[in-house]
């Protein structure tokens, strides 16, 4: 066995000879060996690990022996000079045809050598599947036509084909996985014939035949605004991923669902407004939208999915719909510009939902205070010195240490309502100033004067608060030294 990372970054290594008893090459073993020119895997080898030869940019030829049974998708990723892959005819799992790597029966193309320069791609007659990342790093491609007979396209098959501008799909295509056309920075047109039974194209954008699903937006298009057509009810997963030119998206009132990662890494998208008709937004939907400043989520949503706005580092204004009851894990992770957030009727909060929100100073809990996770899990490493205000509703049981968590307790007094008396317990020795206000409408706030001090507790008689029988919301205002 050659262990993981054994020759990592050996940039001067140009040649290697493997022993006859070698069984496995572990992950990252030869990662970034940029001077290596060929890889001849021994007959004894059974398995290669993840990225074993990744970024070996000078490798031109790979030879695979008869016993190799397991090879990771990323074994030869980034081998930009690779021209030919040869497989021993006795191998039971892999085969080669015209220098490309296939499954044994040649039904699936696994890897097309990036430096293989052919004007027209030819494939074996029984090939029906283009596998994950099969044409990755093929910088020679500018216009590409898949041959008739291909039925299935896996994810990321054209990743990093940075010069590819146009793709033509045959009528035989039946299945297109999410992210098939991702990481194609120059792609401006995805084309099908008018006779295609399952797919349609409008202005180079791929749809289902009836236009009800938007399958893939050509991410190299230079328009800064796109209006989703009224026929579309579903934006499919990763449909707009990496569309760097887009600054705004028009959503209409018939749209029902937006798939996971649909707008991930749209670096220049600045504002989104999700209409009330949308019932679901998938995970990581707007992750890494680095310029997104404002997001308005409609009342049709019941959940903000996990990682939905992760690393939206410019987000300062988030409006959460009144029917959202669940905040997913890491949904606002890394939103480092966010200073204020309000949760209207949220019931459950996912782990690390506000992690790394470094500038967060104001949090409003207008429904339930977190019970599914404590504050220490909700925003565990938001700098303690920054959090100035947390708005808490009236509560029939104490906000215990188990609810608030040990991290939050150092910043926020306990506030709860029990037996018709409001209790406030300032537990932090670092508080420079502490006041309490109340409101029945969340608009007008009245300071509470002269609370009774009993030991470490402040006690306020609700009869003095002039609430007219309405539910009271109590707001703690802290000044942290």
Per DSSP, the residues of 265-329 read T-TT--EEE--TT--EE-TTTTTT-TT--EEE--TT-SEE-TTTTTT-TT--EEE--TT--EE-T
Strand partners, 392: 474
**In sequence order, which residues have a C-beta less than 8 Å from that of residue 147 and are 6 or more positions away?**
121, 122, 123, 170
For the segment 297-307, the average pLDDT, to the nearest whole number, is 96
At 456 the pLDDT is 45
> What pLDDT does 348 receive?
81
Which has more confidence, 450 or 412? 450
* % pLDDT > 90, the chain: 64
Predicted local confidence at residue 410, as pLDDT: 32
Confidence at residue 331, expressed as pLDDT on a 0 to 100 scale: 95
With beta carbons less than 8 A apart as the criterion, state whether 251 and 275 touch.
yes
Determine the distance from the C-alpha atom of residue 480 to the mean position of all C-alpha atoms in its chain, rounded to a whole number: 35
Copy the structure tokens of residue 270.
């600045």
Per-residue pLDDT at 466 exceeds 80: no
**Mean pLDDT of all residues in 249-254:** 96
> How many Cβ atoms are within 10 Å of 153's Cβ, its own excluded?
22
Instruction: Calculate mean pLDDT across residues 451-457.
Output: 49
| Average pLDDT of the residues in 449-457 | 51
Q: Give the tokens for residue 84.
A: 């030919």
Lowest mean pLDDT among 137-151, 187-201, 358-372: 358-372
pLDDT value, residue 450: 55
Q: What is the pLDDT of residue 371?
A: 52
pLDDT at 408: 34
Question: Long-range contacts made by residues 274-281, C-beta under 8 angstroms, separation at least 24?
Answer: 274/298, 274/301, 275/251, 275/300, 276/300, 276/321, 277/252, 277/253, 278/251, 280/256, 280/305, 281/257, 281/305, 281/308
3-state SS, residue 168: strand
Question: At 393, is the pLDDT very low, low, confident or very high (cuts 50, 70, 90)?
Answer: low
* DSSP-derived secondary structure letter, 472: P
The whole-number pLDDT of residue 135 equals 94
> Is the pLDDT at 286 greater than 60, yes or no?
yes
Averaged pLDDT for residues 246-267:
97
Tell me: pLDDT of 343 over 70: yes
From 288-292, 293-297, 445-449, the region with the lowest mean pLDDT: 445-449
Range from 361-365, 368-372, 461-465 that averages highest in pLDDT: 361-365
Model pLDDT, residue 440:
54
Average pLDDT, the chain: 83
More confident residue, 477 or 23: 23
Cross-strand bridge partners of residue 235:
214, 258
What are the distances in angstroms from CA 478 to CA 383, 388, 413, 437? Answer: 15, 6, 9, 11
Q: Rounded to an integer, what distance in angstroms lies between the CA atom of residue 399 and that of residue 416?
A: 6
| For range 25-50, the mean pLDDT | 94
Predicted local confidence at residue 364, as pLDDT:
76
Alpha-carbon span 33 to 52, nearest angstrom: 10
143-157: average pLDDT: 93
**271-280, 404-413, 423-432: least confident range:** 404-413
What 3-state DSSP class applies to 464? helix
Tokens of 122: 């030819």
Over residues 11-39, mean pLDDT:
93
Share of the chain above pLDDT 70, in %: 76
User: For the chain, what is the radius of gyration of the CA atoms?
Assistant: 29
Q: Quickly state the pLDDT bin for 346 (edges 50, 70, 90).
A: confident
Task: For residue 409, name the pLDDT band (cuts at 50, 70, 90).
Answer: very low
Asked whether residue 301 carries a pLDDT value surpassing 50, the answer given is yes
**59: number of Cβ within 10 Å:** 25
Tell me the residue length of the chain: 481
Q: What is the pLDDT of residue 386?
A: 52
pLDDT-derived band at 115, boundaries 50, 70, 90: very high
Dihedral (Cα; 429, 434, 439, 444), 10-degree rounding: -150
* The pLDDT of residue 476: 43
The whole-number pLDDT of residue 350 equals 85
Contact 432, 479 (CB under 8 A): yes
Question: Measuring CA to CA, which residue among 279, 390, 408, 299 is closest to residue 345?
Answer: 299
The model's confidence at residue 472, banded by pLDDT at 50, 70 and 90, is very low
User: Span 188-193, mean pLDDT?
Assistant: 96
Q: How confident is the model at residue 187 (pLDDT cuts 50, 70, 90)?
A: very high
- pLDDT value for 441: 53
Which residue, chain included where needed, has tokens 């949220």? 346
């Amino acid at each position: 066995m050659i262990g993981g990372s054994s020759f990592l970054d050996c940039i001067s290594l140009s040649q290697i000879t493997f022993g006859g008893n070698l069984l496995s090459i572990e992950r990252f073993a030869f990662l970034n060996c940029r001077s290596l020119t060929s890889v001849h895997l021994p007959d004894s080898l059974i398995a290669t690990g993840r990225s074993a030869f990744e970024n070996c940019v000078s490798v031109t030829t790979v030879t695979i022996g008869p016993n190799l049974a397991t090879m990771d998708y990323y074994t030869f990723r980034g081998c930009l000079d690779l021209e030919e892959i040869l497989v021993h005819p006795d191998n039971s799992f892999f085969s080669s045809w015209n220098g490309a790597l296939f499954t044994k029966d040649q039904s699936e193309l696994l890897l097309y050598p990036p430096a293989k320069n052919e004007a027209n791609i030819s494939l074996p007659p029984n090939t029906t599947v283009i596998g994950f990342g099969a044409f990755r790093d093929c910088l020679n491609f500018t216009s590409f036509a898949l041959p008739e007979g291909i039925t299935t396209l896996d994810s990321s098959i054209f990743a990093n084909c940075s010069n590819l501008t146009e793709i033509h799909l045959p009528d035989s295509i039946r299945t297109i996985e999410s992210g098939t056309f991702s990481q194609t920075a120059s792609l401006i047109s995805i084309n099908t014939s008018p006779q295609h039974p399952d797919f349609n194209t409008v202005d180079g954008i791929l749809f289902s035949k009836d236009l009800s699903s938007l399958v893939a937006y050509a991410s190299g298009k230079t328009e800064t605004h796109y209006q989703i057509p009224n026929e579309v009810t579903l934006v499919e997963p990763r449909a707009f991923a990496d569309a760097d030119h887009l600054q705004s998206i028009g959503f209409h009132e018939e749209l029902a669902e937006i798939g996971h990662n649909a707008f991930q890494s749209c670096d220049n998208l600045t504002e989104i407004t999700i209409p009330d008709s949308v019932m679901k937004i998938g995970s990581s939907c707007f992750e890494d939208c680095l310029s997104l400043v404002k997001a308005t989520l409609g009342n049709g949503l019941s959940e903000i999915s996990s990682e939905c706005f992760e690393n939206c580092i410019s987000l300062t204004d988030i409006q959460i719909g009144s029917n959202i009851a669940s905040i997913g894990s890491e949904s606002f992770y890394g939103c480092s510009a966010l200073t204020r957030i309000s949760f209207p009727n949220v019931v459950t909060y996912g782990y690390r939902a506000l992690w790394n929100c470094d500038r967060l100073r104001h949090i409003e809990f207008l429904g339930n205070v977190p019970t599914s996770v404590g504050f220490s899990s909700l925003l565990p490493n938001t700098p303690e010195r920054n959090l100035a205000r947390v708005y808490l509703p009236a509560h029939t049981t104490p906000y215990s240490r188990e609810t608030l968590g040990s991290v939050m307790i150092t910043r926020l007094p306990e506030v709860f309502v029990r037996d018709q008396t409001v209790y406030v317990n300032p537990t932090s020795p670092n508080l420079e100033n502490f006041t309490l206000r109340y409101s029945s409408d969340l608009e007008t706030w009245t300071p509470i004067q002269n609370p009774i001090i009993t030991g470490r507790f402040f006690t306020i008689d609700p009869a003095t608060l002039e609430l007219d029988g309405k539910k009271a919301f109590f707001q703690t205002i802290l000044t942290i030294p």
